[in-house]
Amino acid sequence: MTNISPNICFEPILNNILDRLDQKDLYSMILLNKQFYNIVVVELYKKPIFTNIKSFEKCSNTLKERKNYASYIDHLDLTLMSEEDRLEITDPKLTPFIYTQGISKLRILNVYGCRLLTNGFARLLASSNLMELIYLDLGQCVHIRAPFISQIVKNCIRLMYLGMQGMRLEHFVVYGEEITDFDDGEIDVGWVDQLAIDIIDNLSDLRIDVRMCFGRTDIFLQKLSSNSNLEILYTKCT
């Protein structure tokens, strides 16, 4: 007769129970014993929920000290916070949520309305092992420019949704690693063209939202329309 470890039977049952509990109940279970702690921590950080900037910053500080906890994050959606709270989210505050020590389990990342995020955060996404990422919403992140979105597209080849609502696709040039708006007479749409090419080359099936984008969306959309597998959501700005 084969001996079966009690843990093999116990953990699936416990995980099924944990899926039905809210965060308050999960936090209380951490205090029971070490075994519960190890299992519940994974569940807590799988889909952290933030309704205000205070709870977000508290979790960010914890992740700075316990970097391995970020490896548990599967789903990170910041849109439950108010618009005002999302305006307080910066690169340093969000960076601890991106696991950089190995393969990340992150599948869904929604930072819509986090207007202070910059190319630095986009560069972090592009350099991290985010092979599982299928949903990315960068809508209203107006400081993130096309070259850095291109890097993300090349890195996250399983993306099925890319939100770029309200982002800026106007003309700009790159000086070193800095993005600078064009002066009159310096127009070059190469980076916008390249972003469209990178999307087509790296993502076979993608739903992309470019509603209310500013700048040369006509060139961008013309390039994207050559791929029939792309679903494009678009509303022209006036």
- Please provide the DSSP assignment of 55-124 as one string: HHHHHHHHHHH-GGGGGG--EEE-TTS-HHHHTT--HHHHGGGS--SSB----EEE-TT-TT-BHHHHHH
Residue 38: inside a domain: yes
157 and 60 in a single domain? The answer is yes
CB 188 within 8 A of CB 139: no
In this structure, what token pair is assigned to residue 84? 């005002």
Give the span between the Cα atoms of 88 and 117, in whole angstroms: 10
39 and 64 in a single domain? The answer is no
131 and 80 in a single domain? The answer is yes
Gyration radius from the chain CA atoms = 20
93 and 206 in a single domain? The answer is yes
119 and 179 in a single domain? The answer is yes
Give the span between the Cα atoms of 50 and 48, in whole angstroms: 7
Contacts of 80 (CB under 8 A, 6+ apart): 49, 50, 51
Residue 129: inside a domain: yes
pLDDT along the chain (238 residues), means of 10: 48 62 62 67 86 95 93 96 97 97 94 96 96 96 90 94 85 46 46 84 89 73 80 69
Residue 238: inside a domain: no
62 and 5 in a single domain? The answer is no
Give the span between the Cα atoms of 95 and 212, in whole angstroms: 27
Other CB atoms within 10 Å distance of the CB of residue 43: 18
125 and 8 in a single domain? The answer is no
72 and 148 in a single domain? The answer is yes
Residue 139: inside a domain: yes
| 162 three-class SS | strand
Residue 213: inside a domain: yes
Q: What is the pLDDT of residue 11?
A: 61
Whole domain around residue 155: which residue ranges? 47-233
| 98 three-class SS | coil
Q: What is the pLDDT of residue 4?
A: 41
CA distances for 10 relative to 17, 32, 67, 100, 136, angstroms: 11, 16, 28, 31, 35
Contacts of 166 (CB under 8 A, 6+ apart): 139, 140, 142, 211, 212, 213, 214
34 and 102 in a single domain? The answer is no
Domains in the chain, number: 2
Q: What is the pLDDT of residue 126?
A: 95
Rounded to a whole number of angstroms, the distance between the first and last alpha carbons of the chain is 74
Q: Provide the CATH number for the domain around residue 87.
A: 3.80.10
Sheet of 230-233: strands edge to edge?
Answer: 75-77, 108-110, 135-137, 161-163, 206-209, 230-233
5 and 88 in a single domain? The answer is no
| H or E element at residue 220 | helix 217-224
Q: What is the pLDDT of residue 151?
A: 92
12 and 108 in a single domain? The answer is no
184 and 71 in a single domain? The answer is yes
Contacts of 141 (CB under 8 A, 6+ apart): 111, 114, 115, 117, 167
